[in-house]
């Protein structure tokens, strides 16, 4: 992929004026910093030449000037630090919200392949690296370039041979710094890996705390944790060793440069080719030449990390959602709820086998059908084609006679309610979670929906009723309670088409009967497809459809299917044996 230079710079656009002011300020601050040694030189020369009375007058003047320059320098630095970081943070926030918005549009097929943890890293870490480059990069280049070039020009005019001697050392310093940076980076990435392992270990142990306690395996967990914790400690020790070693080698080297300047400078003073004021100036400027060389490897790492962060950002931004609205997509009006699969074939990926082959099925408006079959036959897959979560490989899925590919996605999905076995609840209150079914609903409508879902009584028994926080993923609720909240959500949404995907299979008998009752109310007057594992739960369905790897092999009522003594009868007797 060619690096999208234009796109990279486009994120500066909203802050261009402020950014240029920050750069100008960084330039001024660096230029001002260069003036100080010159002022020292100016005074020292007067003192050395014995003009003590004029020197004293100048000291006051130059002292005043230094105060003014210090004020300019510090105010400038304040502006660069504050506004520079602010620009970086604002750009990062823009990129993050652009990425999140784009991720929301991406289709299921994308999320099937990506790991949530990895995606979170893209949203946090990658963008942090990028924002560092965005604001520190140009700022550092301006700062070090001005100081380096400025110091070089000034020193060159003061004494070219001595400048040349300093320059002979710089490449060696560059090589040292390069290796230091390389070792430091690999030690740092080891630390990052190890802290990741520690976090993973903590997450694993704490998420499974029930298992830990029920197996009385606290000691096992402590030992596993200690192992990771020690590895983390070792990686940090190694890092500090490398850092202390290289830092001191570099410092020694810098001192060597200073000593060389003092020796050659003193010899030049003896030879009358340099005076003491110039030597002092030299010593004051050395750091201006050394610092950029020392920082160069760090700046190049920052550059690489930022650019990689941007490339990873663009990788996702360049992904087009597989499923998008067609230009003239139809908005569904009054939906009757007829669903038809016409010679449908489907596979998840090109290199995977077909899950559904040439399948045809018509479900009438308001009909209640049960879908049964062995695990992996494709029941969930078939249902996920109705809301157009995936694109068909072949054939048609029609809702009220319209191809789902021609229907506006929002209007299609607003007309379909899905209740799953593992209902996902968001962190927030009970009220917030039910309102998810219709963000515009009033509190009264939410309470009505909860009543219909048999959830009102248990909600009222919670400490803060509808305003109770339910915790991440509803940890403070039982499976049946979570399920009833998710049903209340669908009541509120009030869709004409309903998919119940094994909605009661994880519940105990008592919860199941309450949830079943609310599901029966929910299904009234809607086209309903129930995916059921426990065949006892759908015995009364008017039509049971048996889906196996060979497609739809049987359809009919419970009794008629038992009488056929085919796949359904075999599934049924297998479950009966297990009971
Ligand atoms: N996102 C996916 N990517 C690739 N393959 C998938 C994906 N989801 C399901 N499959 C595969 O498709 C096939 C059908 O799965 P599906 O979940 O639709 O079956 P099911 O009949 O609902 O099974 P169960 O009763 O166990 O829930 C299985 O072989 C499964 O491994």
Q: Is 416 helix (H, G, I), strand (E, B) or coil?
A: strand
Q: In this structure, how many other beta carbons lie within 10 angstroms of the beta carbon of residue 243?
A: 15
- State if residue 377 touches ligand 1 by the CB under 6 angstroms criterion: yes
Helix segments in 159-208, DSSP class H:
160-207
Q: For residues 507 and 193, which has the higher predicted lDDT (pLDDT)?
A: 193
pTM, rounded to two decimals: 0.80
> Is residue 302 a part of any domain in this protein?
no
Q: What is the mean pLDDT of residues 275-301?
A: 86
pLDDT in tens, 510-535: 667 777 777 888 888 899 999 987 77
Same domain? 266 vs 414: no
Q: Beta partners for 342?
A: 396
Same domain? 492 vs 370: yes
pLDDT, the chain, mean = 87
Distance 421 CA to ligand 1 centre (A): 15
* Inter-CA distances, 369 with 127, 301, 366, 377, Å: 48, 60, 10, 17
pLDDT in tens, 43-91: 888 777 777 777 777 888 888 999 999 999 999 999 999 999 999 999 9
Q: Do 397 and 403 contact (CB within 8 A), yes or no? A: yes
CA-based angle 136:137:140, to the nearest 5?
75
Distance 375 CA to ligand 1 centre (A): 8
Same domain? 147 vs 269: no
- What band does 447 get if pLDDT is binned at 50, 70 and 90? very high
**Which ipTM did the prediction report?**
0.94
pLDDT in tens, 205-235: 887 888 888 888 899 999 999 999 999 999 9
Same domain? 112 vs 4: yes
Phi, psi of 375 (to 5 degrees): -60, 135
> Is residue 326 a part of any domain in this protein?
no
**Closest residue (by CA) to atom 16 of ligand 1?**
378
274: left (phi over 0), alpha (psi -120 to 50) or beta: beta
**Closest residue (by CA) to atom 26 of ligand 1?**
375
> Exposed (0-12), middle (13-18) or buried (19+): which is 429, by Cβ within 10 Å?
middle
pLDDT recorded at residue 434: 93
Which contiguous run of DSSP H or E holds residue 554? strand 551-556
Same domain? 21 vs 165: no
Q: Could you tell me the residue range of the domain that residue 73 belongs to?
A: 1-159
Give just the sign of the alpha carbon dihedral 444, 447, 449, 452: negative
> Is residue 453 a part of any domain in this protein?
yes
Q: Above 70 in pLDDT, residue 579?
A: no
Same domain? 101 vs 187: no
Q: What is the mean pLDDT of residues 393-406?
A: 94
Q: For residues 118 and 457, which has the higher predicted lDDT (pLDDT)?
A: 457
- State if residue 375 touches ligand 1 by the CB under 6 angstroms criterion: yes
**The last residue of a domain, from among 246, 273, 300:** 273
- Give percent of the chain with pLDDT exceeding 70: 96
Q: Beta partners for 399?
A: 339, 402
pLDDT recorded at residue 474: 53
- State if residue 109 touches ligand 1 by the CB under 6 angstroms criterion: no
Same domain? 503 vs 436: yes
Tally of structural domains, the chain: 3
Q: What is the CA radius of gyration of the chain?
A: 36
- State if residue 315 touches ligand 1 by the CB under 6 angstroms criterion: no
| CATH, residue 69 | 1.20.1560.10
Which contiguous run of DSSP H or E holds residue 357? strand 356-363
- What band does 475 get if pLDDT is binned at 50, 70 and 90? low
Q: What is the mean pLDDT of residues 412-430?
A: 87
How many angstroms separate the CA atoms of 252 and 240, rounded?
18
List the structure tokens of 236: 């940090």
Same domain? 411 vs 349: yes
How many angstroms separate the CA atoms of 459 and 67, rounded?
69
> Is residue 511 a part of any domain in this protein?
yes
């Amino acid at each position: 992929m060619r690096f999208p230079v234009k796109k990279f710079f486009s994120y500066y656009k909203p802050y261009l004026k402020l950014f240029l002011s920050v750069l100008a300020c960084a330039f001024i601050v660096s230029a001002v910093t260069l003036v100080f040694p010159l002022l020292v030189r100016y005074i020292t020369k007067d003192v050395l030449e014995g003009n003590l009375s004029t020197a004293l007058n100048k000291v006051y003047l130059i002292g005043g000037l230094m105060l003014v320059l210090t004020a300019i320098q510090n105010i400038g630095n304040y502006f660069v630090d504050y506004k520079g970081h602010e620009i970086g943070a604002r750009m990062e926030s823009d990129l993050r919200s652009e990425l999140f918005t784009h991720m929301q549009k991406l289709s299921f097929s994308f999320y099937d392949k990506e790991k949530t943890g990895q995606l979170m890293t893209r949203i946090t870490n990658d963008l942090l690296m990028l924002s560092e480059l965005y604001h520190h990069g140009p700022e550092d280049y301006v700062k070090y370039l001005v100081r380096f070039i400025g110091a070089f020009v000034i020193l060159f005019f003061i004494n070219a041979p001595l400048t040349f001697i300093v320059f002979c050392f710089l490449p060696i310093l560059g090589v040292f710094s390069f290796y230091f940076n390389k070792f430091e980076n690999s030690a740092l990435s080891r630390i990052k890996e190890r802290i990741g392992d520690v976090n993973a270990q903590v997450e694993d142990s704490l998420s499974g705390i029930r298992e830990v306690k029920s197996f009385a395996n606290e000691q096992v967990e402590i030992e596993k944790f200690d192992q990771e914790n020690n590895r983390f400690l070792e990686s940090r020790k190694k890092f500090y060793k490398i850092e202390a070693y290289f830092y001191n080698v570099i410092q020694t080297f810098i001192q060597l440069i200073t000593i060389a300047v003092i020796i050659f400078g003193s010899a030049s003073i003896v030879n009358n080719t340099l005076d003491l004021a110039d030597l002092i100036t030299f010593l004051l400027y050395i750091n201006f030449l050394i610092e950029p060389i020392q920082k160069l490897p760090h700046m190049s790492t920052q550059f690489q990390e930022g650019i990689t962060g941007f490339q990873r950002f663009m990788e996702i931004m360049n992904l087009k959602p597989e499923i998008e609205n067609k230009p003239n997509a139809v908005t569904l009006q009054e939906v009757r709820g007829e669903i038809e699969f016409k010679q449908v074939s489907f596979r998840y990926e090109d290199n995977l086998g077909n899950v559904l082959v040439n399948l045809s099925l018509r479900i009438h408006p308001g009909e209640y059908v049960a879908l049964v079959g062995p695990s992996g036959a494709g029941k969930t897959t078939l249902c996920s084609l109705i809301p157009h979560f995936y694109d068909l490989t072949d054939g048609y899925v029609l809702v009220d006679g319209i191809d789902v590919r021609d229907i506006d996605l929002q209007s299609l999905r607003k007309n379909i309610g899905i209740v799953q076995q593992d209902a996902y609840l968001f962190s927030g209150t009970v009220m917030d979670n039910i309102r998810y079914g219709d963000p515009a609903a009033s509190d009264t409508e939410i309470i009505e929906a909860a009543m219909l879902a048999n959830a009102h009584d248990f909600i009222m028994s919670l400490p803060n009723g509808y305003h109770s926080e339910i915790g991440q993923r509803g940890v403070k609720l039982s499976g049946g309670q979570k399920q009833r909240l998710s049903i209340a959500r669908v009541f509120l949404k009030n869709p004409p088409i309903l998919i119940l995907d094994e909605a009661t299979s994880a519940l105990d008998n008592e919860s199941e009967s309450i949830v079943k009752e609310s599901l029966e109310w929910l299904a009234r007057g809607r086209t309903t497809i129930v995916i059921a594992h426990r065949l006892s739960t759908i015995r009364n369905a008017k039509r049971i459809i048996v889906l196996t790897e060979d497609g739809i092999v049987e359809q009919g009522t419970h009794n008629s299917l038992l009488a056929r003594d085919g796949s359904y009868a075999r599934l049924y007797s297998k479950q009966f044996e297990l009971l």
